[in-house]
Amino acid sequence: MTKTAPVRDWATDFDVMDPGYLADPFTIWDQLRTTCPIPHTERRKSSWMPLRYDDVTTIAHDVEHFSSLKVAVIPGDEDADPEEFDGPNLEYGLPPISADPPLHTWTRRLLLPWFSHTRVDSYVPLTRNLCRRLLDGFAGAGHADAAADYAQQIPVRVIAQILGVSPDPVKKIKKFDEKFGLSFPLLSDEDHAVAESYGVWVEKSMYGKTYFGNERTTFVIGPDGKVARVLRKVKPAAHDELVLKTLEELDLDGA
């Protein structure tokens, strides 16, 4: 464990890496709520720690002064890409969690239907099978990292869905879905905001005429939230096989 200098005053010098804090933060929080509900520290690039629900709610809604783009508990350079990373990345983080309005607004609206009670119930069989498969994968070894080998694998694979994004209006997409009985969500991007964010709203040409439209592209997002692979100008006939092969290469099968 990293050694840190003793805390002089929890209201003005708190340290989330202090052994006492790690062992029992709740007692410290309770004391501070009555004396200094928003303590501050100059450690690790300076930070504040709101401890009351009302304060947290107020801050969350004050998007003019507080941003969600940087959400690390301990400020640092952890958001910078490593030197060896040469792939594309999401320009605005991982919306809606690490995004500000107006990007946050429409991305949250896109996701909400897929986290309703009915939709979540449909994930139960998948989740149980996934958990059993993960346990079977390291049961023979007799040991595992509970976080890396198990807990961190579950949400990314359960939440991950094939999202079809189209510039067509909702009504047209609904008819398409009903016609083919698709088992994955289709999202309407009528104002092509999503396509532009991902760089796939491009100029095309046909029969001597130019126009703008979606470039048929698949983005594979890894467990770390970064774009792990971009499959551009994919052919429908070979697309399924290509995606499965990519997931296997990236060790993301089952995601």
In this prediction, residue 63 carries a pLDDT of 85
The domains of the chain are located at 1-66
Say what the pTM is: 0.46
In tens, the pLDDT along 109-164 reads 777 776 778 777 877 887 888 888 889 888 888 888 988 888 887 876 676 555 67
Which has the higher per-residue pLDDT, 66 or 236? 66
Among the listed residues 57, 35, 59, 62, the one whose alpha carbon sits nearest the alpha carbon of residue 48? 59
User: Which of 39, 61, 62, 41 minimizes the C-alpha distance to 51?
Assistant: 39
> What pLDDT, in 10s, does the model give residues 25-71?
999 999 999 999 999 999 877 889 999 999 999 998 898 888 887 76
- Assess whether pLDDT exceeds 90 at residue 196: no
pLDDT value at position 50? Answer: 95
Task: Report pLDDT for 115.
Answer: 74
Percent over 70 (pLDDT), the chain: 79
Per-residue model confidence (pLDDT) at position 36: 96
pLDDT digits (tens, 9 = 90+) for 64-103: 888 887 766 665 554 455 555 454 445 555 667 777 888 7
Q: Is 103 left (phi over 0), alpha (psi -120 to 50) or beta?
A: alpha
Distance CA 64, CA 190 (A): 28
DSSP per-residue codes, the chain:
----PPPS-TTTS--TT-HHHHH-HHHHHHHHHHH-SS-EE-STT-EE---SHHHHHHHHH-TTT--SS---SS-SSTTSPPTT--S---TT-STTTT--TTHHHHHHHHHGGGGSHHHHHTTHHHHHHHHHHHHHHHHTTT---IIIIIITHHHHHHH----EEESS-HHHHHHHHHHHT-SS-EEE-TT-HHHHHTT-EEEEEETTEEEEEE--EEEEE-TTSSEEEEEES--HHHHHHHHHHHHHHTT-TT-
